[in-house]
Amino acid sequence: MKGAAALLMFWLYGTGALAAPAVDLPGLGSDSHRSVVDVNTAPWKILGRVQTSLGGRCTGFAVAPTVMVTAAHCLWLSATRHYIQPADVHVLMGYLLGQYRLHAHVTHFVIAPGYDPENEGGTASDDRATLVLDRKVIAPADLVPYGVAQTGAAAMLVGYPQDRPEVPYGDIACQINGLAVNGLIHHDCAATRGDSGGPLLARQPDGEWGIVGIDVLATPERGGFAAPLPH
């Protein structure tokens, strides 16, 4: 295991996967403290990379054996002003350096009724898509329960960001800053483009982690907003 870990770190540094970002990205700030997580251990077994046949990439997470959640804006094609076809959307569970546990196709998806892709900021609290898959991608025992977001609670947010798309990379030492009147959850987790659709986890009163939101917006500095979960 130590040899494998050393080889992974050599690959990451040697290929530039952990090099400094070439461009400034929203949501990271100057004090980003992100790290790689193990997608084969809890709670990250729920994580998958959502990608399209057109080259788009986002993050998603399993909420049932054949159901994933991601951000709706990841499926919107601004050039055609239509959503992409479900057949062109794929989920790679546990993606890491070109390898993954499972590859699933999306059979259909449901966009939250209140979301308007042409008014993204105004409808961000409904920026949510539910993906139905053609196969089971996770065991029920590996699912993470929904939780309640409380101001000041410890939080974590991991995804496949634009500057580190080959590794599950994120902030595991952040917190919930507050709750907006429209339901958005403000956090100070370092997350940026590509992390959209990733799960915002928060420590619950019983000490366990729970999913409280879906990453949808990044602020100019470190942090962003998550949409509430579907009921």
In a domain, 200, yes or no: yes
Whether 3 has a pLDDT exceeding 80, the answer reads no
Percent of the chain with pLDDT over 90: 71
Q: What's residue 163's pLDDT? A: 84
CATH number, position 197: 2.40.10.10
User: Which residue's structure tokens are 């094609």?
Assistant: 77
User: What confidence tens digit (pLDDT) does each residue in 71-87 have?
Assistant: 999 999 999 999 999 99
Q: How far apart are CA 7 and CA 15, in angstroms?
A: 12
Q: Which residue has the tokens 């919107």?
A: 76
71/92 same-domain check: yes
Give pLDDT, residue 9.
37
196 inside domain: yes
Model confidence pLDDT, tens digit, residues 20-45: 444 588 667 777 788 899 999 999 99
Q: Which of 81, 114, 142 is the last residue of a domain?
A: 142
pLDDT at 8 over 50: no
| 62 and 114, same domain (yes or no) | yes
Report if residue 212 sits inside a domain. Answer: yes
In a domain, 12, yes or no: no
The sign of the dihedral angle between the CA atoms of 28, 170, 149, 125 is positive
Q: Is the pLDDT of residue 6 over 60?
A: no
| Local confidence band at 15 (pLDDT 50, 70, 90 cut-offs) | very low
- Full residue range of the structural domain in which residue 161 is found: 154-227
Query: Does residue 11 lie within any of the structural domains?
Result: no
Please give the mean pLDDT across all residues of the chain: 88
Q: What is the DSSP string of 74-115?
A: GGEETTTTEEPPGGGEEEEET-BTTB-SEEEEEEEEEE-TT-
One domain for residues 213 and 172 = yes
What would the mean pLDDT of 45-61 be, rounded to a whole number?
Answer: 95
* Residue 13 in this model has a pLDDT that exceeds 80: no
* Final residue before a domain boundary, out of 142, 174, 191: 142
Q: What is the pLDDT of residues 181-231, one digit of tens each?
A: 889 999 999 888 888 999 999 999 999 999 999 999 887 788 899 999 976
Give the pLDDT score at 20.
Answer: 44
Q: Are residues 160 and 220 in the same domain?
A: yes
Place of tokens 């993204």: 120
Q: How far apart are CA 39 and CA 48, in angstroms?
A: 9
130 in the same domain as 65: yes
Question: 60-70 burial string, b = 16+ CB within 10 Å, else e?
Answer: bbbbeebbbbb
pLDDT value, residue 17: 46
Split into its structural domains, the chain has a count of 2
Indicate whether 122 and 193 sit together in one domain. Answer: no
Q: 6 in a domain, yes or no?
A: no
Say if residue 219 is in the same domain as residue 135. Answer: no
| Residue 68 included in any domain | yes
pLDDT of residue 181: 81
